[in-house]
Amino acid sequence: MNLGIIFKCKEASHICDKSQYKESSFIERLLMRMHQWMCKVCREHSAENTKLTEIIQKADLKTMPAERKDELRQVIQQEISK
């Protein structure tokens, strides 16, 4: 039995992406790992995805508070209206 065909690469990639955000089920992760065991391209995709997630988490990015965004929108709208 060829375990690599349980998921097509596109489906495995999607599950890999979901796994990065803890949105995949145990069964999906299990089937994805079985697919990756047989598919070098998907193994590499998963490794790159993991590295990217780690880099983003280490960056400790902060977003602007919603209130400040609203204030800036109002200022921009006022300037455009002039």
Report DSSP letters for 16-28, one per residue.
Answer: HHHHHTT-S-HHH
Residue type, 52: L
pLDDT tens string 2-53? 444 567 888 888 888 888 888 999 988 888 888 888 899 999 999 998 898 8
The model's pTM: 0.60
**Tokens 């890999």 label which residue?**
16
Distance CA 18, CA 3 (A): 21
